[in-house]
Amino acid sequence: MNTESSSTWCVIGRILLKAAVLFLALNLLFAGLRPSDALGRITLYNWFLPGRERLPYGENPAEANNLSLNNLPAMFASHRVSQPKGTDEFRVFILGDSGMWGWFLENEATLTGQLNEMGLVAADGRTLQFYNLGYPIMSLSKDILLLDEAMQYNPDLIVWPVTLESFPPQKQLEHPILQNNPERIRRLIKTYDLQLDANDPRFVDPNFLESTIVGQRRPLADLLRLQQVGFAWAATGIDQAIPAEIPLRKSDFDEDVSWQNYDQPVTLTTDNLAFDVLAAGVEMAGDVPILLVNEPIFISDGENSDLRYNAWYPRWAYDQYRDLLTTEAAAQNQPLLDLWDAIPPDEFTDSPVHLTPTGTEMLAELLRPYLQP
């Protein structure tokens, strides 16, 4: 090997060594700083791309221009709620589950979309602007996790639709968005003395190696994918895949009265349901008023409907839940609007809480008198 060739390989070797050292240093620095939240706030939305109408959720990014991720700052940075609050704006947050998010509904047909179309005005002249902060998970803990992030965006009113399926204690930490934000959930457990296990084995606590750039390559790729699909979202306004034919909810049932872990009717108390999480959300809101809404459910008149309202709820469980919710709200002087039977059965689609556009419009009209301060 001649001198010139040897020198070239030495240069290449030094470059590769420096690159390896730099890569290792960056990984160690990333693992030490854990800058995921800060990176999540770096976004193309709300300045180069329009802000999303609802929080990102979806398992098929190419088809729906959307994806699910666990980085809360990134989710909110992509949403139009992160835009500066207008001086003439009365800001209303809508929490809740997939029904409020708008499952199988275009954005304009969601509850938030229809309320914004009403052009409601507060007594002081400010225009009501509604923000869809629903998310397709049934868990009160998920609701307060999102509310905790949302409070920095200065709401004037919070509308919190709830239903029995969000109250079972065993469901509170069931979903990945909860399991992948253990530090946030543990802080909420400690702050509000929640009856949840801060050491739940489902929590994802990455070790040092898993916290490096290499270990976090999937979450980092999700941040980039969220920006990428934003271009298709901006061009089409499509953020979920809605089938041409939507399957309908079940109307006929077996002779069965089971619910969650109960095979037979029992007497429910507030200890059997996550009322402590509900109270934490109200406390978290502070001086911002909350309107609790017991959201409408599908009520069947089919086989064994004398035992069950729908596939989710035997009558014994749901009736007790309503009584407990009413009693607790009254005891806390918390406004509650019970709309459980307010929407006709034909206006529900594939689940006991998913509404058609017409059903959602009915719900918006029912809420309207309670939303003009």
Mapped onto helix, strand or coil, the DSSP state of residue 63 is helix
Please give the structure tokens belonging to residue 248. 């309908």
Domains in the chain: boundaries: 44-240+257-370
Could you tell me which residues come within 8 angstroms of residue 21 by beta carbon, excluding any fewer than 6 positions away? none
Cα 124 to Cα 273: distance, rounded to the nearest angstrom: 39
Question: Would you say 360 and 348 are in contact if contact means Cβ atoms under 8 Å apart?
Answer: no
**Which whole number is the average pLDDT over 229-236?**
94
Cα 178 to Cα 201: distance, rounded to the nearest angstrom: 12
Question: Cα dihedral sign for 154, 156, 158, 159?
Answer: negative
**Which whole number is the average pLDDT over 245-266?**
94
* DSSP state letter for 52: B
Tell me the pLDDT of the chain averaged across its residues: 91
Please give the structure tokens belonging to residue 329. 């709200």
Predicted local confidence at residue 319, as pLDDT: 98
Cα 102 to Cα 240: distance, rounded to the nearest angstrom: 10
Predicted local confidence at residue 64, as pLDDT: 85
Question: Would you say 164 and 321 are in contact if contact means Cβ atoms under 8 Å apart?
Answer: yes
Q: What is the pairing mode between strands 157-162 and 89-94?
A: parallel
Please give the structure tokens belonging to residue 1. 């090997």
Please give the structure tokens belonging to residue 140. 């009160």
Give CA separation, 249 vs 236, 309, 355, in Å: 29, 12, 11
26-40 pLDDT, tens per residue? 555 554 546 578 888
Question: Would you say 253 and 308 are in contact if contact means Cβ atoms under 8 Å apart?
Answer: yes
**Which whole number is the average pLDDT over 246-258?**
94
Cα 71 to Cα 74: distance, rounded to the nearest angstrom: 5
Q: Distance of alpha carbon 106 from its chain centroid, rounded?
A: 17
Question: Would you say 49 and 233 are in contact if contact means Cβ atoms under 8 Å apart?
Answer: yes
Mapped onto helix, strand or coil, the DSSP state of residue 291 is strand
Mapped onto helix, strand or coil, the DSSP state of residue 151 is helix
Instruction: Categorize the per-residue pLDDT at 189 as very low, low, confident or very high, splitting at 50, 70 and 90.
Output: very high
User: Residue 145 carries which side chain, given as an amino acid letter?
Assistant: L
Instruction: Categorize the per-residue pLDDT at 111 as very low, low, confident or very high, splitting at 50, 70 and 90.
Output: very high
Buried b or exposed e, range 71-81, using 16+ CB within 10 angstroms:
bbbbbbbbbeb
Tell the CATH superfamily of the 44-240+257-370 domain.
SGNH hydrolase (3.40.50.1110)
pTM higher than 0.75: yes
At residue 347, does pLDDT exceed 50? yes
267-319 pLDDT, tens per residue? 999 999 999 999 999 999 999 999 999 999 999 999 999 999 999 999 999 99
Predicted local confidence at residue 39, as pLDDT: 86
Neighbours of 201 (CB within 10 A): 7
Cα 299 to Cα 347: distance, rounded to the nearest angstrom: 11
Please give the structure tokens belonging to residue 17. 């060594």
112-161 pLDDT, tens per residue? 999 999 999 998 999 999 999 999 989 999 999 999 999 999 999 999 99
Give CA separation, 60 vs 68, 70, 109, 129, 157, in Å: 9, 16, 22, 30, 33
Question: Would you say 312 and 261 are in contact if contact means Cβ atoms under 8 Å apart?
Answer: no
